[in-house]
């Protein structure tokens, strides 16, 4: 390997390290948003329960798809994080 090839190799490694840091930062941002979504879902479930108690149309059954979607998103995020860190 000559010096140019070596320098190209080093540059690509540095670029990959930077990209990996960016990806990890994005993952952390997604995790923070996930926590906020969980809190929002909990608040929505509480509100739905209160609405149901006061004979409103909204019920907790309406929120089941949101809970499933959040669960699916968590699972996908977990798989993505595992793949990135391998």
Q: What is the percentage of the chain residues whose pLDDT exceeds 70?
A: 84
d(C-alpha 78, C-alpha 70), whole Å: 12
Number of structural domains in the chain: 1
Look up residue 55 and give its DSSP letter.
Answer: T
> What band does 44 get if pLDDT is binned at 50, 70 and 90?
confident
8 Å CB contact between 15 and 48:
no
The 10s digit of each residue's pLDDT in 21-40 is 888 888 888 888 888 888 88
pTM of structure = 0.52
d(C-alpha 7, C-alpha 56), whole Å: 68
**Does 15 map to a domain?**
no
**Does 20 map to a domain?**
no
**Does 81 map to a domain?**
yes
**Does 23 map to a domain?**
no
3-state percent breakdown (helix, strand, coil) of the chain, nearest 5: 90, 0, 10
d(C-alpha 38, C-alpha 45), whole Å: 10
Supply the range of the domain harboring residue 63: 31-86
d(C-alpha 35, C-alpha 41), whole Å: 10
């Amino acid at each position: 390997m000559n010096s140019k090839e070596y320098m190209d190799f080093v540059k690509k490694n540095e670029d990959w390290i930077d990209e990996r840091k960016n990806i990890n930062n994005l993952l952390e941002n997604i995790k923070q948003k996930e926590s906020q979504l969980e809190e929002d879902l909990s608040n929505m479930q509480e509100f739905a329960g209160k609405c149901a108690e006061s004979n409103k149309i909204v019920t907790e059954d309406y929120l089941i798809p949101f809970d499933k979607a959040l669960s699916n998103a968590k699972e996908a995020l977990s798989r993505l994080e595992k793949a990135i860190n391998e």
